[in-house]
Every structure is written in C-alpha cells, then in structure tokens.
Amino acid sequence: MKVKINSVHFKADSKLETFINEKIDKLSGLYDGVIGSDVTLKVDNTESPENKITEIKLTVRGNNLYAKKQCKTFEEATDIAVDALRKQLSKHKEKFKKR
C-alpha cells in the first residue's frame, strides 16, 4: 500500500515517517480493500502546546475514510487518528460484508 506523507512548512524526520508508515501498515493488514493513504502533518499557530495536527485520508474500495487529530506530538496525534480510522474501517468492513 502506498503511504504519502506531506509535512506543511517543515521537514518530517525519518523516525516520524517510519512511525507513521508502521501504524498505517497495520491498518492495511486489517482490511485488504485499503488502496492507499495521504497523511498531512501541520503545526498550528496557537499558544497552546497541543499544536501538532495529523490528518489521515485512507482510500479504500468504494469509499474514503478520514481522521484529523490535534495533540502535543505528531506521534500522539497519529496514534489517535489511526485508532479512529480503525473503528471506521471495521464499520466499513461490516457494511461491505452485508452486500
């Protein structure tokens, strides 16, 4: 599966990219209909320490799934977004089975 990582106004280090790839690869293991994903990393210009935003768009057969989370670190935001996508993916899988 193809994972495209786009970091806005900064260069993501290889450790972060590896972390994101591993998390998303686990999602593709849950459902073989996953085609690809787009991950966008942003830093919000706020005073809050929770200014790291991870957006993940997962392309699956017949649909796109989306999660956007904001936390103190990109790793934490990615974890929470992947958990949200895991729930969406299981619901999508159930709908697909009923057809």
> Is residue 87 pLDDT above 70, yes or no?
yes
Kindly tell me the burial class for residue 99, based on how many C-beta atoms sit within 10 Å of its own C-beta (0-12, 13-18, 19 or more): exposed
Phi, psi angles (nearest 5°) of residue 32: -80, 0
Residues 7-50 pLDDT 10s: 998 999 999 999 999 999 998 888 888 899 999 999 998 888 89
> Is residue 74 pLDDT above 90, yes or no?
yes
Tokens at 78, concatenated: 């990615």
Domains of the chain plus CATH, in order, are 2-94 (3.30.160.100)
Predicted TM-score (pTM) above 0.85: yes
Question: How much is the pLDDT for 99?
Answer: 62
Residues in the chain: 99
Q: Which residues contact 21 (CB under 8 A, 6 or more apart)?
A: 3, 5
Provide the CB-side half-sphere exposure for 99 (13 A, CA).
Answer: 6
Cβ-contact 62, 88 below 8 angstroms = no
Residues 46-63 pLDDT 10s: 888 899 999 999 999 888
Provide mean pLDDT across the span 82-90: 94
